[in-house]
Amino acid sequence: MLSGASIVLAVTVRPRLWFVTVAQIFRLAPSKWWARAPFLPIPSKKYIRFRAQTQYGGHSAPIETKDVLSYLYWLRDFR
């Protein structure tokens, strides 16, 4: 599935995406994320599976880092 480390690295070297990435992380974080382990504002596994299903036609397909970056660039340009 999704490699969080590869996405973090890809965003880290692209400062233009920092603001939009942080904003999107908090938009997608479940309610009261601070009250449940791992105490991080990350989207739920259910949401990630849903996004993989709608984008790739199945949740077994790996989410590509380039697709996440493309989405973040789109969000940045949309503003």
The domain segmentation of the chain, as residue ranges, is: 4-78
Give the mean model confidence (pLDDT) for residues 43-58.
Answer: 85
Q: Dump pLDDT digits (tens) for 1-42.
A: 456 889 899 999 999 999 999 999 999 898 999 998 889 898
Name the residue among 30, 34, 40 with its Cα closest to residue 4.
40
Work out whether the CA dihedral 39, 66, 74, 47 comes out positive or negative: negative
* CA separation for the pair 73, 26 (Å, rounded): 17
Least confident residue range of 22-31, 43-52, 56-65: 56-65
Query: Is-contact 72 17, C-beta < 8 A?
Result: yes
- By the 10 Å C-beta count (0-12 exposed, 13-18 middle, 19+ buried), 74 is classed as exposed
Q: What is the pLDDT of residue 3?
A: 67
